[in-house]
Amino acid sequence: MYRKDAEHVNEILNQEKSIYIQISEMIENDILRDVLLEDERVPSTNELAKLYAINPSTAAKGINILVDAGILYKKRGIGMFVSDGAKEVIRTKRKARFC
């Protein structure tokens, strides 16, 4: 499934940010920590919805943010995958927040 044993810090959804933003940030964090590697499948919207007890459309919104940013890409009928260079895209995006 999505979370690989003890390779990550458990992240819990909170009320500080919108849930879909938290979902996208958790996936970004897993990419930065090498929990999710380039060309590796990420969890489906239904898997995320079940894991975090959220609506699948909320999970889809979080994933679509990453697709729009070029961090994930779709393989029709198979799922979403981490794009080549995703780590650098995330780092650049996060650095821009602080400039």
Provide the pLDDT confidence category of residue 83 given band limits of 50, 70 and 90. very high
Q: What is the pLDDT of residues 1-30, one digit of tens each?
A: 455 443 443 466 777 889 999 999 999 999
Judged by DSSP in three states, 37 sits in coil
With 0.75 as the threshold, say if the pTM is over it: yes
Q: What is the pLDDT of residues 28-71, one digit of tens each?
A: 999 999 999 999 999 999 999 999 999 999 999 999 999 999 99
